Amino acid sequence: MEYGVCGNFKETYEKDMEIYQTKFHKFCLYGFLVLLYIFPLFGGKYLLYVANLMAIGVIGAIGLNILTGFAGQISLGHGAFIGIGAYACAYFTSNLGMSFWIAMPLAGVVTAVIGMIFGIPSLRLKGLYLAIATLAAQFIIEYIIVHWEAVTNGVLGKMVDSPHIGSFAFNTDKSYFYLSVTIAIILTIFAKNIIRTKTGRAFVAIRDNYIAAEIIGVDIFRYKLYAFAISSFYAGIAGSLWAHYLTLITPEHFTIGVSIEYLAMIIIGGLGSILGSIFGAVFMIALPEFLRFISGVVSQSYPAIINIFAALREGVFGLVIILFLIYEPKGMAHRWNLIKAYWKLWPFSY
């Protein structure tokens, strides 16, 4: 095992920007990836189902975190953008007969363009006013999804086939897991690298102080639109994957509740942190499943709990968010770093 140094001895920018700070770090990461890929061999159907949702959630959460966490533009319409991606991909594959592998990136691009259109008000709007403009986007898109029946099939929902390569179809939880996790990993690496480039630094500059950013020569409007585009692209991909995993999508899947859930993911995980988006997504998707498990156990002794389970789950969901915000305002990623720092100097952490 290699020990990290006690101080910060980086002498070049390249050194500071490195993804793998130590060899041990690199080893852990690759180890984790290997475990991830052999997980389906051991995990049951239910665990794989949850893992698929998590992988899709991670993609969506990273997208939102780029917009809200890095560029500082609060969005309450992420769920609707995921919906656009889902319906666009479904339309391309079912109605136009495209292959999923072309339709998915195309759906991402369509969502990115629509995201940019709804990002235009951000030129003049800030903070709360922008948050509410994106809320309007959520309702307008939801309305279009319900009423544009030629494309979306309205409230009845739209059937989608599972993606396939040649004759091999990704129609089981296990095979789909490889698909969603691979795409999630690619997009995570992509996001991690975006924020290390000029674009990423421009996002952070706009978030921290947009006037100062403008003075040092960042074209605010252009980079805000980039942020909306990248974020919506991620939402589009997440939506495509979700649509082809569920194989039946209805407007119910893309309500304001979904937007809120994604916002909760990145706040609980940690704003402005890719790792935080992953933690947040995993946590927020595991939470309802955990509550279901708990209520299953409790209902054996108190059967009445089944009736109020839905309400109880919502309450616990809200309470967890509140407690996190009060006691862990910087998110799980921050706590993770503290834990790492503690072990780095263990047992001499004075």
Partner 1 sequence: MEQFIQLIITGIVLGSIYALVALGFVLIYKSTSVINFAQGEFLMLGAYICLQMVVGFHIPFWIAFFLTLIVCAIIGLLIERLFLRPMIGEPIISIIMLTIGLSSVIRSIIAIFWGTQTKVFPQIFSEKPIHITKHIGISEVYIYSIVFAAIFLGIFTLFFKYNRSGIAMRATADDQQAAMSMGISIKKVFALAWCIAAVVAAVGGILIGNINGINVSLSFYGLKVFPVVILGGLDSIGGAIIGGLIIGILENLCGGYLDPIIPGIKEVAPFIVLVFILMVKPYGLFGTEEIEKV
Cβ–Cβ < 8 Å for 251, 152 = yes
Tokens describing residue 258: 């979904």
User: Which of positions 245-304 make contact with partner 1 (CB under 8 A)?
Assistant: 256, 260, 263-264, 267, 271
Task: Write out the two tokens for 136.
Answer: 């309007």
Question: Which x/- pattern, by CB under 8 A, does the window 304-343 give for partner 1?
Answer: ----x-xxxxxxxxxxxxx--xx--x--------------
For 184-235, give the DSSP string. Answer: HHHHHHHHHHHTTSHHHHHHHHHHH-HHHHHHTT--HHHHHHHHHHHHHHHH
| Binding segment (CB under 8 A) for partner 1, from list 120-128, 159-167, 243-251, 287-295 | 120-128
Q: Which two tokens stand for residue 321?
A: 């968010």
Instruction: State which of residues 137, 202, 285, 333 lies at the interface with partner 1 (CB under 8 A).
Output: 137
Binding residues for partner 1, rule CB under 8 A, total: 48
Closer CB to partner 1, residue 98 or residue 320?
A: 320
Residues 211-230 that bind partner 1 (CB under 8 A): 211-212, 215
Task: Identify which of residues 106 and 320 has a Cβ nearer to partner 1 in the complex.
Answer: 320
Residue 169 is a binding residue for partner 1 (CB under 8 A): no
> For 147-155, which contacts have Cβ atoms below 8 Å and span 24 or more sequence positions?
151/87, 151/91, 151/95, 152/87, 152/91, 152/251, 154/251, 155/250, 155/251
Q: Is 136 in the site for partner 1 (CB under 8 A)?
A: yes
CA–CA gap between residue 99 and residue 17 (Å, rounded): 38
Q: Which is nearer to partner 1, 173 or 261 (by Cβ)?
A: 261
| 94, 159 contact by CB (below 8 A) | yes
Quick check: 31 binds partner 1 (CB under 8 A)? no
Contact set with partner 1 (CB under 8 A): 68, 74, 120-121, 124-129, 131-133, 135-137, 139-140, 143, 146-147, 209, 211-212, 215, 256, 260, 263-264, 267, 271, 308, 310-322, 325-326, 329
